[in-house]
Amino acid sequence: MNSSHDLIITVLTKQAAQLDALLLLLKNELSALAERQVETLEQVIAEKTALLTQISATDAELAAQPQLAAVKAEAWFVEQRALLEQKLADCKAQTAVNQQALEQSQLILQRFKNELLGAKGKSGLTYTSKGQPAVENKGPGIKA
């Protein structure tokens, strides 16, 4: 292999490390969601956003390699690409798990809100045009 192959290997290795770091961040995100740690979640999201930008830049760097077309059919490149695609699939699967956890958390909070609204005033409990429960205040009371 020559120096251009070495450069492509370096970029592929960098991309693999970035995908590993992304998977770790996604697992940390799930942990922060489960434990309802808002500050940690905000930090993880900021790190994840920065890392996704780096991954995109690395992908552009790889695409800009002049020898890329020549090595795409070589066995070592196909193997590296398959490895990267597996890491990406793992990240997508973890993202789906995180999304489901977030949706479940939101449903639990919505149910809790509904219970609080229901307990606040059964007689004044109505529903909005979107089907969300709301307590309607009928006014200050009876004036005599």
Question: What is the distance between the alpha carbons of residues 108 and 6, in angstroms, rounded to a whole number?
Answer: 52
> Do residues 33 and 41 make contact, with C-beta atoms less than 8 angstroms apart?
yes
Residue 120's pLDDT is 65
The domains of the chain, with CATH numbers, are 3-117 (1.20.58)
Residue 135 region, left (φ>0) first, then alpha (ψ -120 to 50), else beta? beta
Residue 108's pLDDT is 84
> Over its length of 144 residues, how does the chain's per-residue pLDDT go in tens digits?
577 788 999 999 999 999 999 999 999 999 999 888 989 999 999 999 999 999 999 999 999 998 998 899 899 999 999 999 999 999 999 999 999 998 998 888 888 877 877 676 665 667 778 877 666 665 566 665
pTM of the model: 0.75
